[in-house]
Amino acid sequence: MQGPPRENILDLEKIPSPYLSGIFEGKEYHHWVFETARGCPFKCAFCVWTTKGKPRYFSTARAAAEAAWMAARAPLPQKNSTNSSSQTVFLADQDLLMSGARALKIILAMRSSSKGRSLLWVINSNVNFWTPELAAALNSACFEVNLGVESVNPAILKALGRNPPSLARISAGLALLNKFAPEASLRFQLMLGLPGDSRKGFLASLRWALDACAAAQLNPVAAFVAPARMGDLVKYGFGRPLRAAVEVFHVSVFPGSRFEKDAGGLGITWGKEAPYPVLTAKGLTAGDLDACYEALDAIGEVTRRICGQPLVMYRDNRGV
């Protein structure tokens, strides 16, 4: 049963920390969620965080203390072991880096607390907030920066309520990370099943992301000048750890989202049980989605043979 709506908590310091208050010890877990803020200024049609109000922030002191708490419970690296475990922490903020100087303090705290631990901090961010100072702070193997590209079609992104950076701005942002944070790993995130997209359009977005990955793989410290080709990845990628990869998310129609409210006009049909996957959308038939997954399967198999691991990560959750 769903209770009545309630006001957002404005003073986040009134909320006890689930980590620092002794609710659980935590050593048995391998994945954590780290939240240094609540609320979101963006209005993405596929998201339900749009109801969370303006961004409010926990103090940097609390964020640093929670980061140290999680890092202290991460495993120690196991040398010469194929079974070494690691800990992954997902930053649940709308975008940590958008808070500038505050973000810098938190990133440095995460980096400092991670020394000597097998730990990965996963940060989702928009290149519009990247600066040389923030990039330099992220220059550690303990950080993974995820870039939500979603699609390279500006019309589709505009319909989503996004105000994305141009591809030229993204390339400049990648040059910044390649120069100042060559140790950090990268993920380019795309969405499959967006209304107004097409089989051809999705594959164009995928090709852009693969080219960006190839460029990051070949020479991480060089500036991102021009997209590399898959042939270059084949030539140089064998045996090298993947610094960059593509992650494809199948679009979900979350209850209460604008996608659900506007489904008729967007031509969306979707599964009515979690994770509510899009089954068809304007411009995309079920057969088109099948063809896109066939392409992802083929790319994953080829790059697994070349690099020892797939260059694309995805899950067709229509049958879940």
Q: What percent of the chain has pLDDT over 70?
A: 87
Average pLDDT for 216-245 = 50
The CATH architecture assigned to 12-75+84-319 reads: Alpha-Beta Barrel (3.20)
The yes-or-no verdict on residue 237 having pLDDT over 60 is no
pLDDT at 85: 60
What angle (nearest 5°) sits at the alpha carbon of residue 310, between those of residues 145 and 200?
A: 85
Average pLDDT for 163-172 = 83
pLDDT in tens, 74-83: 888 776 554 4
Q: Which of 12-26, 94-108, 297-311 has the highest mean pLDDT?
A: 94-108
The yes-or-no verdict on residue 223 having pLDDT over 50 is no
pLDDT at 1: 61
pLDDT at 48: 82
Distance of CA 220 to the CA centre of its chain: 19
pLDDT at 160: 85
What is the distance between the alpha carbons of residues 124 and 104, in angstroms, rounded to a whole number?
15
pLDDT in tens, 19-73: 998 887 766 778 899 999 998 888 888 888 766 778 899 999 999 999 999 999 8
The yes-or-no verdict on residue 236 having pLDDT over 60 is no
The yes-or-no verdict on residue 225 having pLDDT over 50 is no
The yes-or-no verdict on residue 2 having pLDDT over 80 is no
The yes-or-no verdict on residue 303 having pLDDT over 50 is yes
Domain chopping of the chain, boundaries: 12-75+84-319
Q: What is the mean pLDDT of the chain?
A: 86
Does 164 or 88 have the greater pLDDT score?
88
pLDDT at 26: 63
Kind plus residue range of the DSSP H or E element containing 279: strand 278-280
pLDDT at 277: 97
Average pLDDT for 295-300 = 93
Average pLDDT for 277-298 = 96
Average pLDDT for 238-245 = 66
pLDDT in tens, 178-200: 899 999 999 999 999 999 999 99
Exposed, middle or buried by CB within 10 Å (0-12, 13-18, 19+), for 174?
buried
pLDDT at 50: 65
Beta-carbon contacts of 155 under 8 Å, excluding residues fewer than 6 positions away, are 196
| Cα separation values, 195 from 48, 204, 265, 272, 279, Å | 17, 16, 10, 18, 11
pLDDT at 220: 41
Least trusted range by pLDDT, from 272-276, 277-281, 294-298, 304-308: 304-308
Beta-carbon contacts of 228 under 8 Å, excluding residues fewer than 6 positions away, are 211, 214, 215, 217, 218
Question: Which pTM value belongs to this model?
Answer: 0.87
Q: What percent of the chain has pLDDT over 90?
A: 55
The yes-or-no verdict on residue 227 having pLDDT over 80 is no
pLDDT at 80: 56
